[in-house]
């Protein structure tokens, strides 16, 4: 499914938005990324506002949530993660326990902001609706830790998840990676890195309005300079923070610079119509398809960047989240092997 409707004005974008998004668009707190510390505070405030609009988190009652750490290979660095596990509702002993597929999730926040709480509700929903474990990664953030630190954290967690899968009751051959905005960049970079390093096989890359191209030259970038959810003036700042002293962006940092997608994991790509990042997401999806990668591309008409986080109660959000969960379920398919029987008291 791919639906795109034209927008003719770069000024009053609210008249092009879904009616349920308009009021929320006007209430969105301003988050500038000039000062990363202030951006982190304001970003948390925006997340709190969204949570207040939504109410109780979906899936809280039937999901186990565990904050823990994984150890990175080599230097032994600790990486904080939050693990979501569905709680079985069937009576004990009535069905064979199957290994759970796993989604590695990277939060958004222009690389510099966001934390494990940013997309807590989305992770709860994926756990419940896709029937999978979710490992949300608290990767290191720039400017204190520029590229490649955030991506290397994510790759370390990917490898660790594959290693401990059997002991945790996970299916190491059904691992997906996903993220929104900057997190979508990390998920795309992770898929490229896993291919090139012959790392764990990835079943799906779930890319939600991803930031992929540091060159900032797309038509939508010029067309929507003040669209809600993202101000294009922050884009050069975001990339400067992320790239640090890197002289030229490598493909793992800016996946849109990749020119060979053969062998990359299948993808689900979601973009929003009224979003400066729209066209780079569409172009990325099309170029993956040209190299034979199975891709499902969704462009949500009348939506802005991050709409499904900012307006959780909207019908468009419910539609988008249901699509994302369905894509995960389809990619995971059937269990690749039964879980080992557990005995003892």
Under 8 Å between Cβ of 112 and 164? no
Residues 6+ apart with CB under 8 A from 175: 101, 102, 103, 104, 158, 161, 162, 165, 200, 201, 202, 203
- In a domain? residue 344: no
Per-residue pLDDT reduced to its tens digit, 109-120: 999 999 999 999
pLDDT value at position 343?
36
Residue 316 in this model has a pLDDT that exceeds 90: yes
Range with lowest mean pLDDT among 35-49, 159-173, 212-226, 244-258: 35-49
- Structural domains of the chain, count: 1
Q: What's the mean pLDDT when you consider all of the chain?
A: 87
Mean predicted confidence (pLDDT) in 131-160: 97
DSSP codes, 291-338 = TT--EEEEEEEEEETTHHHH-TTSHHHHHHHHHHHHHHHHHH-S-SSP
Per the rule left: phi > 0, alpha: psi between -120 and 50, beta: everything else, 7 is beta
Confidence of residue 21 (pLDDT cuts 50, 70, 90): confident
Specify whether 11 is catalytic. no
Q: What is the pLDDT of residue 35?
A: 85
Q: Which residue has the higher pLDDT, 232 or 114?
A: 114
* 156 pLDDT higher than 80: yes
Q: Where are the alpha helices (H) located in the chain, listed in sequence order?
A: 19-27, 36-54, 120-130, 149-168, 182-196, 219-223, 234-243, 278-290, 307-310, 315-332
Query: Which of 138, 153, 213, 275 is labelled catalytic?
Result: 275
Domain assignment present for residue 106? The answer is: yes
Other C-beta atoms within 10 Å of 310: how many?
A: 24
Q: Three-state SS for 186?
A: helix
Residue with tokens 């051959």: 173
In a domain, 318, yes or no: yes
Question: Angle of helix 120-130 relative to helix 315-332, nearest 10 degrees?
Answer: 50
- Dihedral, CA atoms, 120, 114, 26, 307, nearest 10 degrees? -50
The pLDDT tens digits of the residues spanning 54-85 come to 666 665 678 999 999 999 887 889 999 999 99
Judge whether residue 7 has pLDDT over 50. Answer: no
Residue of higher predicted confidence among 11 and 331: 331
Residue 16 annotated as catalytic: no
Confidence bin at 106 (pLDDT 50/70/90): very high
More confident residue, 189 or 89: 189
Domain of residue 149, CATH code? 3.40.50.1820
Q: Is residue 234 part of a domain?
A: yes
Give the Cα separation of 102 and 280 in Å (integer).
27
> Is the distance from CB of 33 to CB of 41 less than 8 angstroms?
no
* pLDDT of amino acid 47: 78
Q: Measured between alpha carbons, how far is 305 from 227 in angstroms, rounded to an integer?
A: 8
67 has catalytic annotation: no
Highest mean pLDDT among 93-97, 274-278, 281-285, 312-316: 281-285
Rounded mean pLDDT, 189-201:
98
Among candidate residues 234, 241, 305, 308, the one labeled active-site is 305
- Provide the pLDDT for residue 34: 82
Residue 340 has pLDDT above 90, yes or no: no
Q: What is the pTM of this model?
A: 0.89
For residues 181 and 106, the answer to whether their CB atoms sit within 8 Å is no
pLDDT digits (tens, 9 = 90+) for 22-62: 876 666 666 778 888 888 988 888 777 767 666 666 656 78
Question: Does 317 map to a domain?
Answer: yes
- Is 261 inside any structural domain? yes
141 in a structural domain = yes
The catalytic position among 136, 156, 180, 181 is: 181
pLDDT at 160: 95
**Is residue 3 situated within a structural domain?**
no
- Pick from 168-172, 191-195, 245-249: least confident: 245-249
Q: What percent of the chain has pLDDT over 90?
A: 67
| pLDDT greater at residue 206 or residue 52 | 206
**pLDDT band (50, 70, 90) for residue 96:** low
Domain hosting 105: range is 14-91+99-332
Q: What is the pLDDT, as a whole number, of residue 39?
A: 86
């Amino acid at each position: 499914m791919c639906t795109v409707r034209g927008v003719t004005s770069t000024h009053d974008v609210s008249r092009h938005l879904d009616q349920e998004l308009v009021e929320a668009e006007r209430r969105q707190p301003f988050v500038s990324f000039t000062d990363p510390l202030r951006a982190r505070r304001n970003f948390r405030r925006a997340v709190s506002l969204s949570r207040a609009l939504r109410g109780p988190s979906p899936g809280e009652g039937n999901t186990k949530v565990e904050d823990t750490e994984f150890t990175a290979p080599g230097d032994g660095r600790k990486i904080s993660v939050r693990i979501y596990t569905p709680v079985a509702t069937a009576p004990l002993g009535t069905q064979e326990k199957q290994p759970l597929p796993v989604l590695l999730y990277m939060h958004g926040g222009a690389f510099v902001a966001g934390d494990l709480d940013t997309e807590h509700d989305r992770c709860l929903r994926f756990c419940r609706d896709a029937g999978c474990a979710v490992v949300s990664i608290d990767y290191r953030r720039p400017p204190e830790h520029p590229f490649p630190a955030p991506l290397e954290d994510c790759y370390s967690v990917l490898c660790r998840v594959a290693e401990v899968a059997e002991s945790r009751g996970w299916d190491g051959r059904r691992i997906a990676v996903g993220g929104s905005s900057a997190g979508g960049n990390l998920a795309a970079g992770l898929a490229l890195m896993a291919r090139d390093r012959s790392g764990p096989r990835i079943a799906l890359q779930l890319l939600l309005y991803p930031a992929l191209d540091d060159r900032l030259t797309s038509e939508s970038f010029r067309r929507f300079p003040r669209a809600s959810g993202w101000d294009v003036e922050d884009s050069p700042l975001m990339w400067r923070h992320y790239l640090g002293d890197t002289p030229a962006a490598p493909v793992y940092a800016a996946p849109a610079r990749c020119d060979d997608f053969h062998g990359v994991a299948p993808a689900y790509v979601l973009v929003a119509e009224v979003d400066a990042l729209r066209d780079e997401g569409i172009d990325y999806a099309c170029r993956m398809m040209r190299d034979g990668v199975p891709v499902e591309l969704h462009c949500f008409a009348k939506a802005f960047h991050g709409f499904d986080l900012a307006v959780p109660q909207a019908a468009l959000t419910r539609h988008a989240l249901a699509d994302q969960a369905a894509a995960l379920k389809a990619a995971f398919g059937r269990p690749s092997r039964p879980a080992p029987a557990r005995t003892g008291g």
